[in-house]
Amino acid sequence: MSETPFALSELPWSPLALAADIEAGTSAGTVWNGAEIVIWRDSRGSLHAWEDRCPHRGMKLSFGFVRGDRLACLYHGWEFGDDATCRYIPAHPELAVPPTIRVARYKAAEALGMVWVAHPDAAEPSPEDSHAVFGLRSLQIDRSAPEIADLICRVGLPGCGGLNMPERLGPLIRWRQGDLGLIAGLQPMTDASCTLHLGMESDLPGTERAAMISATVALRTLAESSRSEGLS
């Protein structure tokens, strides 16, 4: 098992969602190392990741909704275009909105069935989309990302067969259980919580995928119940 040389919270790119969970025309909020981020996909399917905060009065933009190629704030309806500048203020429809009104942007990319986000000044390229990944689910767990990484490298998904060859590559863990190749992207949220974006490297029939959901619940239960024992 190869050990990651850096702390998970310091990696430039992090997975923040399963790509299939951000459907065209929808938005979702999340937290990455304490920063609140809104991820949304416009009606043409392009991904965007911004600070989850409206420049007007600070409302969470993830509470808003997508209108074509804009994200609209729920509170007073300000609309932001794909470059994150404000394009329209409903209370002043005649106003040419100054381009200085804008939301802070992150970099966003799609690879390995996941949505990846980096700080705007990150120099590193986004992760390579090296092979197909079939999304299983995103699972929020009340434990830190490093603790969950250690747990997965020890047990994989409970009840899914013997664990083989766990391998850590930055925020990713790849391993095999039985015939199945599994992959998990770890999103550090706070010091005490993370989200695990789980996928498979080959597709399974729906009933078998559904049966694996109980294994993911068992993993969360195991992780959250062993708080006092020390997992590493």
Binding site for ligand FES (CB under 6 A): 54, 56-57, 59, 73, 75-76, 78
Choose which of 100, 207, 225, 232 interacts with other proteins (CB under 8 A). 207
Interface with other proteins, residue 217, by CB under 8 A: yes
Choose which of 65, 88, 122, 158 interacts with other proteins (CB under 8 A). 65
**92 burial type by CB count under 10 A (0-12 exposed, 13-18 middle, 19+ buried):** exposed
Q: Which does 78 bind (CB under 5 to 8 A by kind): other proteins, ligand FES, none?
A: ligand FES
Instruction: Name the residue type at position 141.
Output: I
Q: Which whole-number Å values give the CA distances from 186 to 9, 58, 159, in the listed order?
A: 10, 28, 21
Return the closest-CA partner of residue 116 out of 172, 36, 181, 54: 172
**Minimum gap (Å) between residue 63 Cβ and other proteins:** 7
Choose which of 7, 24, 169, 210 interacts with other proteins (CB under 8 A). 210
Rounded to an integer, what distance in angstroms lies between the CA atom of residue 148 and that of residue 145?
5
Q: Contact 136/212 with Cβ under 8 angstroms? A: yes
Interface with other proteins, residue 187, by CB under 8 A: no
**Minimum gap (Å) between residue 123 Cβ and other proteins:** 29
Residue 139 tokens read as 């699972």
Q: Contact 49/105 with Cβ under 8 angstroms? A: yes
Interface with other proteins, residue 148, by CB under 8 A: no
**Contact range with other proteins by CB under 8 A, out of 26-34, 117-125, 154-162, 171-179:** 26-34
**Minimum gap (Å) between residue 213 Cβ and other proteins:** 4
Residue 96 tokens read as 């040419």
Choose which of 74, 104, 109, 222 interacts with other proteins (CB under 8 A). 74
**Minimum gap (Å) between residue 41 Cβ and other proteins:** 13
Sign of CA dihedral 14, 16, 22, 28: negative
Q: How many Cα atoms sit within 13 Å of 174 on the Cβ side?
A: 11
Interface with other proteins, residue 206, by CB under 8 A: yes
Q: Which does 56 bind (CB under 5 to 8 A by kind): ligand FES, other proteins, none?
A: ligand FES
Question: What does the DSSP assignment read for 34-86?
Answer: TEEEEEEE-TT--EEEEESS-TTT---GGGSEEETTEEE-TTT--EE-TTSBE
**Please, which residue, 37 or 118, has the CB nearer to other proteins?**
37
Binding site for other proteins (CB under 8 A): 17-18, 21, 23, 26, 28-31, 62-63, 65, 74, 136-138, 140, 195, 206-207, 209-211, 213-214, 216-217
